[in-house]
Amino acid sequence: MKLASLARFFESRLKEPMPGKSAHDLMLPTLVNGSNIRFKHEKKPRQGGVLILFYEEEGIVRFPLIERPEYDGIHSGQIALPGGRKEETDSSLIRTALREAEEEIGVDDKEIEVLGGLSPFFVGASNHDILPVIGITQRVPIFRPDPREVKEIITPATIDLLDANKRKKKDMVVRNGHVLSSPYFDLEGKVVWGATAMMLSELSFLLSEFEVS
**Model confidence over 69-109: pLDDT tens digits?**
876 656 567 899 999 999 999 999 999 999 999 999 999 99
* β-strand partners of 136: 54, 113
The residue-averaged pLDDT of 46-55 equals 97
Q: What is the pLDDT of residue 179?
A: 83
Check: pTM over 0.95? Answer yes or no: no
> How much is the mean pLDDT over the chain?
91
13, pLDDT greater than 60: yes
The pLDDT confidence band at residue 157, using thresholds 50, 70 and 90, is very high
Q: What is the pLDDT of residue 36?
A: 67
Q: Is 92 exposed, middle or buried (0-12, 13-18, 19+ CB in 10 A)?
A: middle
Percent of the chain with pLDDT over 70: 91
Q: What is the pLDDT of residue 73?
A: 57
State pLDDT tens for residues 162-208. 999 999 999 988 766 778 899 999 999 999 999 999 999 999 999 99
Distance CA 94, CA 90 (A): 9
Name the CATH superfamily housing domain 3-212: Nucleoside Triphosphate Pyrophosphohydrolase (3.90.79.10)
Which DSSP helix (H) or strand (E) runs through 212? Answer: helix 194-212
State pLDDT tens for residues 112-129. 999 999 999 998 878 889
Q: Is 107 exposed, middle or buried (0-12, 13-18, 19+ CB in 10 A)?
A: buried
Distance CA 14, CA 134 (A): 9
Q: What is the pLDDT of residue 136?
A: 98
Q: Burial letters for 189-208: b for 16+ Cβ neighbours within 10 Å, e otherwise?
A: ebbbbbbbbbbbbbbbbbbe
